[in-house]
């Protein structure tokens, strides 16, 4: 039988807590809104009854739910026994569900897009926009009902259980993705962290004098010479979190590019951001079209018989000896103020090329698996969002 739904005002389904802090001895943990990250307590302050801030005044019990009043924030906790001896800020609303209303169902409502859009639309205040009691009374919720038109607790629990399973899958996938992100770092340490290999400067491990280059600017190339079509020009925005992003905001005509072909970027080149957001490193993908770089990037074409570009990429990111050199150059700010001369003189460990190639092959396989995990993550996210939308649209 199809589920019947009814829209209620949220305040008709809950009891807003007025449980205030009473005198206590010693210290207690106090949580402000800044101490909550989405659905986790990440920090706290220790306070006594005499020195606690005036906002430290709410008690949170096992039967309660909590959410932050501030606009554009999703900070939600479901009450647990261990929370009952802690103090929470009046920047939260704390409430318990009434009879026949599922606490789990309300929790998922509080993290839903539908609730947060309503909350934000009713927030007031120029400096710190937040939800007031007046705004709270306007928020509505769709809830399954029984034949008498009352909230159907059993149906709410079924929906909440399905959402919990989907959320569990999301969390597991997030954990797996994080482990995969750390795998390359661990692999680099396993391959190269314990051996004392010979060392050499990067300048001695490239093809020729044009193999370490930054693109033209200033007297050679001016902003007004860029066009909307032609040969793409790469910049900082193409290297994002050590990934390559396919965005081309500027181009050069074929005629203009013919004067700057020595600044061309080839598949397998290592790109390093040296201006703006510095220190990002990426290997140009194999399907890279004809393009060139600006002075914001240093481009390195390695001598493949001596230096694998994937190994160089990993060394610039993970090798502590390389990072120490960059810190010494920039007086503590990693990679700040880099240029091609600094990169040429960086000294890196030089394992046998066969070992570098083996490492690179494993990294490429990890990247393939990461792409597959991303597709799986997208499917799990779509499942969770679909069930949320069905329940709380």
Q: pLDDT digits over 1-18, tens only?
A: 578 999 999 999 999 998
Exposure class string for 295-321: b at 16+ Cβ within 10 A, else e:
bbbbbbbbeeeebbbbbbbbbbbbbee
Mean of the pLDDT values across residues 103-115? 95
Render pLDDT for 298-354 as a digit per residue (tens, 0 to 9).
999 999 999 999 999 999 999 999 988 877 665 444 444 578 888 999 999 999 999
Q: What pLDDT was estimated at residue 329?
A: 61
Instruction: Break the chain into its structural domains and give their ranges.
Output: 4-151, 198-350
Q: What pLDDT was estimated at residue 328?
A: 66
Pair 80, 31: CB distance under 8 Å: no
* CA distances for 204 relative to 64, 208, 220, 252, 326, angstroms: 65, 9, 28, 32, 18
Task: Please identify, in words, the CATH class of the domain defined by 198-350.
Answer: alpha beta
Render pLDDT for 246-299 as a digit per residue (tens, 0 to 9).
888 889 999 999 999 999 999 999 999 988 777 889 999 999 999 999 888 999
CA–chain centroid gap for 334, Å, is: 21
Q: What pLDDT was estimated at residue 177?
A: 78
Q: What pLDDT was estimated at residue 380?
A: 76
Mean of the pLDDT values across residues 111-137? 93
Torsion of CA 307, 310, 312, 314, to 10 degrees: -150
Query: What's the predicted TM-score (pTM) here?
Result: 0.64
| Same fold? 4-151, 198-350 | yes
Mean of the pLDDT values across residues 233-251? 86
Is the CATH code 3.90.1150.10 the one for domain 4-151?
no
Q: What pLDDT was estimated at residue 23?
A: 95
Residue 96 clears pLDDT 90, i.e. is over it: yes
Render pLDDT for 167-203 as a digit per residue (tens, 0 to 9).
888 888 878 878 887 899 999 999 998 889 999 999 9
């Amino acid at each position: 039988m199809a589920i019947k739904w009814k829209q209620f005002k949220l305040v008709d389904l809950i009891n807003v807590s007025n449980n205030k802090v009473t005198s206590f001895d010693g210290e207690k943990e106090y949580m402000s809104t800044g101490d909550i990250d989405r659905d986790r307590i990440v920090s706290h302050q220790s306070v006594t009854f005499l020195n606690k801030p005036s906002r430290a005044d709410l008690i949170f019990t096992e039967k309660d739910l909590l959410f932050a009043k501030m606009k554009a924030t999703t900070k939600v906790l479901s009450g647990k026994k261990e929370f009952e001896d802690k103090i929470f800020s009046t920047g939260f609303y704390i409430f318990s569900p009434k009879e026949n209303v599922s606490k789990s169902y309300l929790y998922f409502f509080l993290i839903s897009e539908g609730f947060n859009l309503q909350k934000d639309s009713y927030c007031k205040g120029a400096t710190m926009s937040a939800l007031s009691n007046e705004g709270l009374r306007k928020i509505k919720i769709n809830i399954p009902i029984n034949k008498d038109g009352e909230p159907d607790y059993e149906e709410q629990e079924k929906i909440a259980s399905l959402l919990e399973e989907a959320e569990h899958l999301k969390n597991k996938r997030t954990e797996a993705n994080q482990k995969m992100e750390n795998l390359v770092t661990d692999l680099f340490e396993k391959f190269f962290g314990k051996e004392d290999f010979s060392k050499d400067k990067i300048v001695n491990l490239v093809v020729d004098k044009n193999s370490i280059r930054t693109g033209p600017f200033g007297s050679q190339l001016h902003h007004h010479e860029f066009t909307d079509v032609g040969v793409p020009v790469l910049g900082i925005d193409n290297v994002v979190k050590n990934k390559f992003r396919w965005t081309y905001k500027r181009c050069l005509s074929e005629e203009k590019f013919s004067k700057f072909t020595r600044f061309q970027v080839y598949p397998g080149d290592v790109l390093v951001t040296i201006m703006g957001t510095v220190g990002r490193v990426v290997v140009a993908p194999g399907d890279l079209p004809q393009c060139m770089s600006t002075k914001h990037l240093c481009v390195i074409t390695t001598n493949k018989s001596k230096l694998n570009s994937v190994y160089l990429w990993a060394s610039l990111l993970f090798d502590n000896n390389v990072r120490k050199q960059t810190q010494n150059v920039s007086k503590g700010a990693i990679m700040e103020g880099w240029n091609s001369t600094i990169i040429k003189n960086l000294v890196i460990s030089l394992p046998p090329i066969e070992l570098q190639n083996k490492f690179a092959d494993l990294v490429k396989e990890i990247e393939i698996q990461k792409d597959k995990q991303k597709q799986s993550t997208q499917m799990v996210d779509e499942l969770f969002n679909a069930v949320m939308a069905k329940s709380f649209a």
